[in-house]
Amino acid sequence: MTWIALKMLVGDRAKFVGIVIGLTFAAALIMQQGSIFCGLMMRTCAQISDIKGADLWVMDPSVRFVDDVKPMLESNLQRVRGVDGVKWAVPLYKGNGRAKLVFSPADMKARTYPAEQLEADRRAPHGPPSNPFTKVLDFLVPGIESPPAPPARWHDTDLINVIEQVIVLGVDDSSMVGAPERNPMIGPTPDGKPNGKLLVGDLEDLRRPDSIIVDRVGLRKLFPGCHLDEPFESPRETDEAYLERLRRFVAAAPEIEMNDHRAILVGVCEATRTFQSNPVAYTLYSRARQYLPMERKVLSFILVQTADGPDGTKIPPAVVAERIQEQTGLGARTSENFMYRTIKYYLVYTGIPINFGITVFLGFLVGTAIAGQTFYNFTIENLKQFGALKAMGASNLRIVGMILLQAATAGLLGYGIGVGLSTLFGLRVATGWHGQPAELAYLTPWQLLPTTAAAIIAICVLASLISVQRVIRLEPAIVFRS
């Protein structure tokens, strides 16, 4: 019977392909939209995932998410250090700065581009930034002006004036906990996450006066027109040549005015893209305070690592967090807890889950409609065969088993192809240089695979139920009568 059921399924290739395409479309859409949703949510807590080595984040108890900074008195740092179970505690500043700089893109290109690339850039057309979506918008609504490029200086048109919002992270002056890691390895970690490594420069460079380190993708906004966020495609630039070009650029970079204070670019790091896509600038905690207006409270967070207990094992961070809350009145959360707290805030106070949920539901609905309709027609056209089998003694249970086997086979194929296509899309479109995330946020946690499988099973069950009713009510005599 199993062989007969499979022969009936693939006998009509057009309908078989139609069923598989419907299930493939549903699986791919659920996986793709789910991955984009997860990737977008992870960007909301990019700074938490990038900072390694700390077990706990201590903050004002009213902080709701990582960008909801409520400054504390610096004396709280000593209070936290005095809590039993705290191995070390260091300050972390997180805030926004306004970066201003004046530079000549043509001069920077001449000083950093290879001669071959400089000639190719001279011949290439230059216009406002665009993509396929802006071209469609220009076609539908002609006359819309593109966002203006940074204005040129009135006395020298070769110079442009850039003003950009920057996320400033001030790390501890002595330990530099929270700064990009020193490991020169480029690319994702073995578990596929961005590693936040330092690409150009050294952490010790942060001890130089007025120094800052900026993330690689953020350079695109600070230095427009210099093509610093990725290697050249034509002529193709090797990774080594790209890093060397970044080093030359850092050496020649102009001074930056950060909140009316001097800042000098000394390094480039890899950092997880943020939800607002603003450049991320690392500097020392004491220097970050200089960028701020005079305030009584400047301490954003305290990073804590827990000590070992009397038995030599590490004290659970949750235990130390409870002690900190009881003794200081501050909020203390593990990194994982703080990440999920931030994600939960965006889920509650933004319309992101509703928008993505509707898209996923539409994928489920369309997949059910296509697969259900095709599967129903397929069963109806095979009523004679099912009737003949019933006339030969096959029970209703056996016939239902054959239909479920056909649905399971089509569902397995559709699920596999859909997940494969979605994964291929993620690898090709959402992965940038050396596996780093591209503009499209895309993250596929393992939980999404069984969720998609459950949705496909539900579609197959629904499609089978529609078909089974006709087969169960079928009288075998009708087949021979016709």
Q: What is the signed CA dihedral for 143, 146, 149, 151, rounded to 10 degrees?
A: 40
Is the same domain home to 359 and 398?
A: yes
| pLDDT at res. 264 | 93
Q: Would the pLDDT of 194 be above 50?
A: no
Is the same domain home to 392 and 356?
A: yes
CA distance 164 to 460: 52
Asked whether residue 120 is domain-assigned, the answer is: yes
| Nearest to 423, CA basis, from 445, 450, 454 | 445
375 contacts: CB under 8 Å, gap ≥ 6: 19, 406, 407, 410, 463, 464, 466, 467
**Residue finishing a domain among 278, 295, 329:** 329
The predicted-structure confidence for 208-233, as pLDDT tens digits, reads as follows 999 999 988 888 888 888 888 888 88
The predicted-structure confidence for 242-255, as pLDDT tens digits, reads as follows 888 898 999 988 89
Exposed/middle/buried for residue 112 (C-beta within 10 Å: 0-12, 13-18, 19+) = buried
> Which residue(s) pair with 95 in the sheet?
168
The predicted-structure confidence for 290-316, as pLDDT tens digits, reads as follows 887 777 788 999 999 999 888 888 899
Is the same domain home to 229 and 83?
A: yes
Domain containing 263: what range?
Answer: 73-329
| pLDDT at res. 191 | 54
Q: Would the pLDDT of 441 be above 70?
A: yes
- With residue 339 as reference, give the H or E element that holds it: helix 335-349
Q: Report the number of secondary-structure helices (H) and strands (E) in the chain.
A: 17, 10
Q: Of residues 373 and 202, which shows the higher confidence score?
A: 202
The predicted-structure confidence for 140-191, as pLDDT tens digits, reads as follows 777 776 666 676 666 666 788 888 889 999 999 988 888 887 654 454 455 5
Q: Of residues 410 and 383, which shows the higher confidence score?
A: 410
Angle at 372 between CA 371 and CA 377, to 5 degrees: 100
Interstrand relation of 211-215 and 261-269 (parallel, antiparallel or unpaired): parallel
Is the same domain home to 162 and 22?
A: no
Asked whether residue 18 is domain-assigned, the answer is: yes
Q: Would the pLDDT of 468 be above 80?
A: no
Is the same domain home to 307 and 386?
A: no
- Tell me the whole-structure pTM to 2 decimals: 0.77
CA distance 168 to 281: 5
Percent of residues, the chain, with pLDDT higher than 90: 19
Asked whether residue 59 is domain-assigned, the answer is: no
Q: Position 241: which residue type?
A: A
**Residue finishing a domain among 269, 298, 329:** 329
Is the same domain home to 356 and 408?
A: yes
Cis check for the bond before 235: say yes or no (omega within 30 of 0): yes
Q: Would the pLDDT of 280 be above 80?
A: yes
Is the same domain home to 27 and 147?
A: no
Please report which confidence band the pLDDT of residue 480 belongs to, taking 50, 70 and 90 as the band edges: low
Question: For 178, which DSSP code?
Answer: T
Token digits of residue 111: 């000083």
CA distance 247 to 200: 6
Asked whether residue 400 is domain-assigned, the answer is: yes
| Nearest to 60, CA basis, from 280, 297, 287 | 297
The predicted-structure confidence for 330-376, as pLDDT tens digits, reads as follows 999 998 999 999 988 888 887 777 777 777 777 677 766 776 777 77
Is the same domain home to 159 and 103?
A: yes
The total of other beta-carbon atoms located within 10 Å of residue 380's CB is 12
DSSP SS3 for 393? coil
Residue carrying structure tokens 């077990």: 55
Task: Tally the domains of the chain.
Answer: 2
Is the same domain home to 256 and 304?
A: yes
Question: For 67, which DSSP code?
Answer: T
| pLDDT at res. 323 | 93
| Contact status, residue 34 vs residue 452, Cβ threshold 8 Å | yes
Asked whether residue 39 is domain-assigned, the answer is: yes
| Nearest to 107, CA basis, from 158, 162, 161, 163 | 158
DSSP SS3 for 213? strand
Q: Would the pLDDT of 82 be above 90?
A: yes
Is the same domain home to 35 and 98?
A: no
| Nearest to 254, CA basis, from 285, 287, 210 | 210
DSSP SS3 for 300? coil
Is the same domain home to 378 and 248?
A: no
Average pLDDT, the chain: 82
Asked whether residue 245 is domain-assigned, the answer is: yes
The predicted-structure confidence for 24-68, as pLDDT tens digits, reads as follows 888 888 888 888 888 888 888 888 888 888 899 999 999 998 888
Mean pLDDT along residues 70-95: 92
| pLDDT at res. 184 | 47
- With residue 212 as reference, give the H or E element that holds it: strand 211-215
| pLDDT at res. 319 | 92
Q: Of residues 475 and 212, which shows the higher confidence score?
A: 212
Query: Which of 68-77, 175-184, 241-250, 411-420 has the lowest average pLDDT?
Result: 175-184
Is the same domain home to 403 and 297?
A: no
The predicted-structure confidence for 251-274, as pLDDT tens digits, reads as follows 988 899 988 889 999 999 888 877
Asked whether residue 383 is domain-assigned, the answer is: yes
Asked whether residue 57 is domain-assigned, the answer is: no
| pLDDT at res. 153 | 66
CA distance 353 to 342: 14
